[in-house]
Amino acid sequence: MVTSVRRLSASKSLLASLVILFSLTLAARAVVVRGTVTDPLGAVVGGARVQLIQGKQAVAAVLTSPDGSFEIRSASPGRFVLLTSAPNFTPNIGQDFYGGATDVVNRDIVLEVASVRTTVTVTATGIPTPLQQVSSAVTLIPQADLATRVGIVDDLRQSPGNVAVQSGQTGSVTSLFVRGGNSTANKVLIDGVPANDVGGTFDFGNVSSTGLAGLEMYRGPNSALYGTDAAASVVNLTTPRGSGLKPVLNYSGDAGNFHTYRNEAAVSGAHNKLDYYGAFSRFDTSNSIPRDRFHAATSVANVGYDLTANTQARFTIRNAVSAIGLPQARNFYGISADAKQSDQDIYSGLTLENRTEHNWHNLVRYGIARKREQEQAFTNVGTPITFDFGGGDIFTEYFGNVVTIRGANGYSTTGQASFFVPNEQSVSNRDELYYQSDYTFLRRVTALFGFRYENERGSFVTSYEKETTQRTNYQYSLQFQGDIMNRIFYSLGGGIEKNHLYGITGTPRIGLSYVPVRPGAGYFHGTKLRANFATGVQEPTLALEFASLYTQLQQAGNTAAIAEFNVTPPGPQRSRTYDLGIDQNIIGQKLILQAGYFHNIFDHQLEGVGAGALIQDFGFPPSVATSVFTPYLNSLAFRAQGLEAELQYQPFTHLMLRGGYTYLDAVVLHSFTSDAYSKGFANNNPNFPGIPIGAEGPLVGARPFRRPPHSGFFAAQYTGTKYTAAFKGALASRADDSTFLDGFDTNFGNSLLLPNRNLDFSYAKLDLYGTYAFRPRIVVFTELGNLISQHNIGPIGYPSLPFTVRAGLKVRIGGD
């Protein structure tokens, strides 16, 4: 009997051991997900419910500990999503990820208090940071706002501090002026890859909304993180990622007036360790004036592969091909020029990213930009006039019709303008290697180190010359950010750049924000004070480098003058700014006011300097000053200060109201152009005696061109189960500008120049959008653009597209 009992006991012990061993084996092969749940200010959230979703099923669920931490497991590998909820917070659905049988995945979660704002920005700090913690002025435009758009120009105007100037109709060159800075002072990133031309130029007019997951707009210089060209802002465009376990095909097609039509198809999904997204679109329109037809084709791909749960490789590519007629400033000619501009742009990046269990994140990216542009004139148009200067010097020039040019300032002039349509080709290529390593110490302090290597090549070819250049640039960045008691948030860092042209330069940056009143229910519960100081640098464009005094003397073989007068290549164009602001919750998180003051100085800017100033102000002898043609020097400086305000109100769940206003006080501090040297009378129009005119640039004491002192926007958006509707507007006051017609009349004189002050017209561009879900997978939509048919939204001389209408449908096939 005793023996039997002993045998039974031994059997039970063996069975228990096998059960324990089996359990340990299962645990060893489980997917483990760990992290911490916090609110937008970094305070931990205990008792939050975290669910691990695989497919459509919740395979596990836990509650966070009092310190906000959680650990959740699944015995089956695959793709997962974390669904997190807690009282007084909006449920959070995270980015999907792959977890293998023995992987430990780290996923921190930020729960958002029910708010009218999106929560996370990457552009401001280089790492994902809740918007409520950053001290910078950032605007986030979500993918939903771009769902039925053709491009992004109108949405760029839906931000304080931004003025988007389109020189013509759909597809025309569009420049972005942020807080009074130059249009070349914006660093544009596509999936982290720099997309500017060499020297900062970027045309927003031919950027399609296809394959965009949204965009971030950082207002202010941030060369500390992003290097050259981030002198006024950083614009970050991102491509969507596939997530559904079943492939999904989305098709969109529409048509409208002015022979407009568009087709777009996108396919996306995820399988085990792979996620994929691809899209293609084609857009065509004739626009409303002759010889202004525009077409664009855009191809996008984003493919990611999880080498391990915490290590991912990702490849992105964006290919854009477009062509548009160049009717020129048609209001100055009365007829359209017969010319075309073509662009072929490719942006691509290969990224390897790893995040360890101990808060260490590493990223390495190799990116390329390949950009080509051609401007070509086909046939001469207009009235031919032959000029005989004697001695066999005979040539024929073509002029437009007799027109009367009227400015918004009340001045007008009548005459014929000479056509000038250059034949030019430009190439701008860049290869970049970027490495970033950041580490978080005890969830309070994050240190970031970055290294960037750029190899830039470019060429500029005209009928008369061919110029080529190559630049090799290096940058090192170091930044610290963190918080004190979830009340004070700071970001301190700087960059050191070794630029091929101008050598070594430093760019410090510091940001502070303080939350004296934490967000909550009731009136005025939630106050954030913010302050920033930052600097930026910008390298010259290809055209300005080739036109610099150094390059012209070098090409002329005058190395003696270069050595004697210590002439150097173009130096860095610099900016420095400080801004102060407040974000105030007025009615809980439903009514929020954001307001701020900014003060920018843009100095050492490049400008064309005349012979008189070279002799009198720079000390060059007449033999040198007259041997070059309007060389460019770092001698321009201007100030841009102002106020920004934005109000966001969500009175009901489905209704969002937004509005913003910017006051800009910009003035040229010093300049040495021919116009400035002669105080505006070198190219004065004889029809306006005594009125100084800046023919090619603003005069000292005047405003920089195309930057209105008053601008604003508004949006009213309704989002329902079946219907969505949006009414949006962009407004701007009159702005200083020039007709740029010095020497273009029939006597090669300046009779077609008008005084600069308030030359560009004010405008209000109003647009209406709507969608209706006819079936769960079929949506019809419409867009009514420029409702009041404003003709002067662009600069003077360039007629804007009048009232337009587009209508179409979206079809979804496959997916969950």
Q: What is the mean pLDDT of each run of 10 residues along the chain (816 residues)?
A: 47 49 48 89 89 86 91 87 87 86 85 67 83 89 91 96 96 96 96 94 95 94 93 96 92 97 96 95 97 97 93 97 96 95 97 88 97 93 84 84 96 93 91 96 89 95 85 96 93 95 94 92 90 96 92 90 90 96 92 96 95 88 89 96 96 94 97 87 87 93 97 96 95 97 91 96 97 93 96 95 96 89
Residues 6+ apart with CB under 8 A from 612: 625, 674, 677, 678
Q: Are 655 and 648 in contact (CB under 8 A)?
A: no
Strand partners, 579: 532, 598
Measured between alpha carbons, how far is 753 from 695 in angstroms, rounded to an integer? 7
For 450, the enclosing helix (H) or strand (E) is strand 445-461
The DSSP 8-state label assigned to residue 750 in this structure reads: S
Q: Answer whether residue 738 is part of any domain.
A: yes
263 and 234, same structural domain?
no
Q: Answer whether residue 620 is part of any domain.
A: yes
Range of the domain at 658: 248-814
37: domain CATH number is 2.60.40.10
77 and 151, same structural domain?
no
Strand partners, 493: 479, 509
pLDDT at residue 438, rounded to an integer:
95
pLDDT at residue 118, rounded to an integer:
52
337 and 216, same structural domain?
no
Q: Answer whether residue 117 is part of any domain.
A: no
Q: Answer whether residue 97 is part of any domain.
A: yes
Best CA proximity match to 113, nearest among 401, 526, 506: 526
Residues 6+ apart with CB under 8 A from 633: 548, 549, 570, 606, 607, 609, 618, 672
185 and 95, same structural domain?
no
Cβ-based burial of 499 (10 A; exposed 0-12, middle 13-18, buried ≥19): buried
Q: Answer whether residue 459 is part of any domain.
A: yes
Q: How far is CA 249 from CA 221, 268, 316, 813, in A?
A: 40, 7, 19, 5
Q: What is the dihedral of CA 559, 563, 567, 572, to 10 degrees?
A: 110
327 and 210, same structural domain?
no
747 and 767, same structural domain?
yes
Cβ-based burial of 659 (10 A; exposed 0-12, middle 13-18, buried ≥19): middle
Q: Are 163 and 732 in contact (CB under 8 A)?
A: yes
170 and 23, same structural domain?
no
Residues 6+ apart with CB under 8 A from 451: 434, 435, 436, 474, 475, 476, 477
Measured between alpha carbons, how far is 107 from 50 in angstroms, rounded to an integer? 11
pLDDT at residue 580, rounded to an integer:
97
pLDDT at residue 121, rounded to an integer:
79
Q: What is the pTM of this model?
A: 0.92
Cβ-based burial of 3 (10 A; exposed 0-12, middle 13-18, buried ≥19): exposed
Q: Answer whether residue 538 is part of any domain.
A: yes
222 and 175, same structural domain?
yes
pLDDT at residue 115, rounded to an integer:
57
151: domain CATH number is 2.170.130.10
Residue that is last in its domain, among 208, 238, 268: 238
169 and 106, same structural domain?
no
Strand partners, 508: 494
Q: Answer whether residue 130 is part of any domain.
A: no
744 and 630, same structural domain?
yes
800 and 706, same structural domain?
yes
Q: Which two tokens stand for residue 557?
A: 């073989």
717: domain CATH number is 2.40.170.20
Q: Are 186 and 342 in contact (CB under 8 A)?
A: no
The DSSP 8-state label assigned to residue 145 in this structure reads: G
Please report, as a single letter, which amino acid is at residue 122: V
User: Count of domains in the chain?
Assistant: 3
Q: Answer whether residue 120 is part of any domain.
A: no
450 and 301, same structural domain?
yes
Q: What is the dihedral of CA 177, 183, 185, 186, to 10 degrees?
A: 70
Q: Which two tokens stand for residue 786?
A: 């420029």
Residues 6+ apart with CB under 8 A from 637: 601, 602, 603, 604, 605, 668, 669, 670, 671
